[in-house]
Amino acid sequence: MGNIYVIGPTGAGKTTYLAGLAYWPDRTNSKFRITGITEDAKKIAAKAETIILNGASLEPTIIDGVKIKSFYDLPLYSFEIDIKRQWWQMPEKINLVMRDYPGEIFNELTAGVSNPLHQEFLDESLIKDVVGCLILFHKWEAGSDLFYARVIERFINLMDERDRTQDLRLAVAMSKCERGEIWPGRLDPELDIFKLHLPRTTSILRRRIPYKNLQFYAISTFGVLHRNDPRPNRADELGSPHSVLREPLKWRPYGMISPLYWLSKGKKMGLTINN
Ligand SMILES: Nc1nc2c(ncn2[C@@H]2O[C@H](COP(=O)(O)OP(=O)(O)OP(=O)(O)O)[C@@H](O)[C@H]2O)c(=O)[nH]1
Ligand SMILES: [Mg+2]
């Protein structure tokens, strides 16, 4: 079982993604069954109902110094994902231990980390029992590339210092990919989202991370309304940075499992079971 941490700047959708996993719809036609193992995983599943279905606005994950004094105070999510396959195939399972990082740590990387607690968090994300990181980005507009490139460069420097550049897997994903401008790019995210909109960030990653340890993904925890109706399943409240599901009963998250499969197993999930 490998530990996987979800990192990325503030507002990238990390907590929502974890809540989505915890609250995975138990539909008969879903190819996955996700079971929360730890207390925290069960707690967030209960919360996810309000987060995902009723649009309760999600607070940014912060280190407030009172509740979270050390890395070990961060909630620990452990999930078991069963992949339903055809009857003649061996059943497959992914066991995950995940932590939800506050984005502020990632943001701070550009300026250099001065807060010792932040440093502890970064160190923990690079210890040997972490097999991989899911890095979520959500901005693709001009200007974001420079910021992401700087952050990623610093993060890879830290990997280097801790001797992890050769064995830590990085799944780099564009989140909220149901957005019309990037939705068509989801089929080949490296080329049509990352190289196109974040060329500098992509080239640093490709240059410094071994080919086999780096994959690009597009994820949408919200998803679109239907396979044949690619309107985002999202209702934006005017003037609010928060988005909520437009039609909760049609919740079809996109691309959430494949990066986890790759991060934990080091091979891609078969095309037939792609979600
Ligand atoms: N459109 C859309 N919005 C999303 C999606 N996932 C999350 N969001 C919204 O993005 C905002 C930020 O999400 P969070 O999950 O709090 O982001 P975070 O990465 O945990 O942020 P920090 O805790 O500050 O680091 C919320 O308003 C979410 O509703 C998605 O798939 N699509
Ligand atoms: Mg958060």
Task: Choose one of 16, 108, 186, 222 to mutate for the ligand 1 pocket test, by most ligand atoms within 8 angstroms of C-beta.
Answer: 16
Query: 161: CA distance to ligand 1 center in Å?
Result: 31
Token digits of residue 157:
């420097």
CATH code for residues 2-273:
3.40.50.300
Which atom of ligand 1 is found nearest the CA of 20? 6
Domain ranges of the chain: 2-273
Per-residue pLDDT reduced to its tens digit, 123-143: 888 888 899 999 999 999 989
Which atom of ligand 1 is found nearest the CA of 58? 16
Which atom of ligand 1 is found nearest the CA of 19? 15
Please give the average per-residue pLDDT across 22-32, as a whole number: 75
Please give the average per-residue pLDDT across 94-113, as a whole number: 84
What is the model's pLDDT at position 200? Answer: 97
Spatial distance between the Cα atoms of 208 and 192, rounded to a whole number of angstroms? 21
State the pLDDT confidence band at 274, using cuts at 50, 70 and 90. very low
Spatial distance between the Cα atoms of 166 and 153, rounded to a whole number of angstroms? 15
Q: 244, 235 in Cβ contact below 8 A?
A: yes
50 lines ligand 1 (CB under 6 A): no
Per-residue pLDDT reduced to its tens digit, 54-89: 655 567 777 665 667 788 888 888 998 988 877 777
What is the model's pLDDT at position 140? Answer: 94
Per-residue pLDDT reduced to its tens digit, 137-162: 999 998 999 999 999 999 999 999 99
